[in-house]
């Protein structure tokens, strides 16, 4: 197969790269920085001050004094009632010139420019406003982005701070996405990003990542493929926890191996042979590292039996797939083809003698005399004189 030819000259590609780089560094990024400065001075500073806090409290308490008709028309102007909220429940959004919308853009711009501290502060300011307006999608999104900004921050987070801040944010965001907004995809996105960020931190954060990942598996919002994939990610989270000393005290090797076996079982049900073999090999390697004197034999009899059954099922699936493709080769435990081993085991029984071979002649007891009129008349004579009565 010939290599595909380039549709652009090298000089044109270089010019396009230069143009994009200059546009981003000289136009896009300075524009975003100016917007951040303007919105931070004109909108966010007022929201942080005493007047902004007073307005937030007034919005919270005026919602209780309005009638049911006025509360149903929140965000709309008319004779039915007025409200100080800028949220439109019919459209499910804020106006683009509202303070909440501009502050949300301020947090997003700061997040894109990697100013994690500013973005986290803006999202935390917006949470109470979104809660008062019952804008649950904005509310869940603010908690989600605040948690991600906190995890992306380079400063170290103790287990106590994570349990009091990050875990609470993730809990509120996932609950709002699933229960209030009926959007499980939002909860899946939020927890997936948080799990990977916690895993990269290592240490006790890896245990939190495994806990959130196993909880995501138990939420039953995943399909069959997602269930197997996140089961495998639980094993990866436990494997990220490195122990201390020569004995690797505090590591989670056995848990990682167990979840690898569970992932292999889940992939086997989907017929993903490559993933099954990968998970089984990883589990065998981890168990072998726990008891290196036993080699490839696991120290746990029940787990050894279960992994052997998985490997036999894997070999059967690979052999069936090869048979469908026309190859028909069977594989051993290492994946190498066997030379008709199974067929020889099935052919140990003695072949039954053919009925045609009965008798001394090669044609057995069959009458080999050619038919003739004389012979047929002789048979008719015998049949007539059989003296049946």
Report which of 145, 154, 208 is spatially closest to residue 172, judged by C-alpha positions.
145
CB atoms within 10 A of CB 123: 28
Are the C-beta atoms of residues 295 and 315 closer than 8 Å to each other?
no
Residue 182 domain flag: yes
Residue 21 domain flag: no
Residue 147 domain flag: yes
Report which of 160, 159, 164, 99 is spatially closest to residue 133, judged by C-alpha positions.
99
CA dihedral 345, 349, 350, 354 (to 10 degrees): -110
Are the C-beta atoms of residues 190 and 212 closer than 8 Å to each other?
no
CB atoms within 10 A of CB 32: 16
What spatial distance separates the first Cα and last Cα of the chain, rounded to whole Å? 88
pLDDT band at 357 (very low <50, low <70, confident <90, very high): very low
Residue 34 domain flag: no
Domain that holds residue 179: 99-221
d(CA 166, CA 172): 10
Residue 19 domain flag: no
What 3-state class would DSSP assign to 181? coil
DSSP symbols for 117-149: HHHHHHHHHHHHHHHHTT-HHHHHHHHHHHHHH
Residue 205 domain flag: yes
| Length reported for the chain | 389
Q: How many domains does the chain have?
A: 1
Are the C-beta atoms of residues 170 and 141 closer than 8 Å to each other?
no
- Give Dmax (Cα) for the chain: 131
**pLDDT score, position 204:** 86
Are the C-beta atoms of residues 56 and 132 closer than 8 Å to each other?
yes
CB atoms within 10 A of CB 290: 15
Q: What is the pLDDT of residues 150-193, one digit of tens each?
A: 999 877 778 888 888 999 999 999 999 999 999 999 999 999 99
Residue 120 domain flag: yes
Residue 253 domain flag: no
Residue predicted with more confidence, 344 or 21 = 21
**pLDDT score, position 373:** 47
pLDDT band at 106 (very low <50, low <70, confident <90, very high): very high
Q: Which residues pair with 249 in a beta bridge?
A: 244
Q: Is the pLDDT of residue 246 over 60?
A: yes
The pTM of the whole model exceeds 0.75: no
Residue 267 CB-density burial (10 A; 0-12 exposed, 13-18 middle, 19+ buried)? buried
Q: Is the pLDDT of residue 248 over 80?
A: no
Residue predicted with more confidence, 77 or 113 = 113
What 3-state class would DSSP assign to 183? coil
Give the whole-number percent of the chain exceeding pLDDT 70. Answer: 67
**pLDDT score, position 372:** 45
Mean pLDDT along residues 367-385: 48
Mean pLDDT along residues 201-223: 90
Radius of gyration of the chain (CA): 37
Mean pLDDT along residues 60-85: 45
Per-residue burial over 155-186, b = 16 or more CB atoms within 10 Å of its CB, e = otherwise: eebeeeebeebbbebbebbbebbbeebeeeeb
Are the C-beta atoms of residues 47 and 99 closer than 8 Å to each other?
yes
Q: Is the pLDDT of residue 77 over 80?
A: no
Lowest-confidence range among 4-8, 97-101, 190-194, 247-251? 247-251
């Amino acid at each position: 197969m010939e290599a595909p030819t380039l549709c652009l000259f090298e000089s044109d590609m270089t010019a396009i790269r230069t143009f994009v780089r200059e546009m981003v560094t000289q136009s896009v990024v300075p524009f975003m920085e100016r917007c951040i400065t303007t919105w931070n001075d004109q909108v966010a500073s007022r929201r942080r001050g005493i007047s902004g806090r007073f307005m937030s409290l007034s919005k919270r308490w005026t919602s209780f004094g309005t009638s049911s008709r006025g509360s149903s028309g929140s965000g709309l102007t008319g004779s039915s009632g007025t409200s100080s909220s800028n949220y439109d429940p019919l459209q499910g959004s804020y106006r683009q010139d509202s303070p909440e919308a501009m502050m949300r853009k301020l947090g997003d711009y700061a997040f894109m420019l990697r100013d994690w501290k500013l973005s986290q502060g803006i999202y935390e300011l917006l949470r109470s406003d979104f809660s008062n307006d019952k804008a649950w999608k904005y509310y869940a999104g603010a908690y989600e982005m605040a948690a991600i900004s906190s995890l992306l921050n380079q400063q170290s987070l103790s287990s106590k701070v994570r349990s009091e801040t990050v875990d609470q944010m993730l809990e509120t965001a996932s609950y709002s996405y699933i229960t209030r907004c009926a959007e499980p995809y939002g909860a899946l996105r939020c927890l997936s990003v948080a799990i990977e960020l916690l895993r990269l931190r290592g240490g006790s954060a890896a245990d939190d990542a495994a806990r959130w990942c196993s909880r995501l598996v138990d939420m039953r919002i995943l399909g069959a493929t997602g269930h197997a994939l996140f089961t495998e990610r639980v094993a990866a989270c436990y494997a990220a926890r490195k122990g201390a000393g020569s004995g690797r005290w505090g590591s989670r090797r056995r848990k990682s191996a167990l979840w690898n076996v569970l992932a292999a079982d889940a992939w086997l049900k989907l017929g993903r042979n490559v993933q099954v073999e990968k998970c089984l090999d990883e589990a065998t390697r981890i168990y072998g590292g726990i008891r290196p004197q036993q080699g490839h034999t696991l120290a746990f009899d029940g787990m050894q039996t279960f992994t052997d059954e998985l490997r036999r099922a894997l070999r059967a699936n690979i052999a069936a797939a090869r048979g469908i493709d026309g190859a028909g080769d069977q594989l051993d435990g290492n994946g190498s083809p066997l030379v008709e081993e199974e067929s020889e085991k099935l052919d140990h029984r003695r072949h039954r003698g053919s009925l045609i071979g009965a008798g001394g002649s090669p044609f057995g007891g069959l009458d080999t005399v050619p038919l003739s009129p004389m012979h047929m008349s002789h048979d008719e004579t015998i049949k007539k004189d059989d003296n049946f009565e």
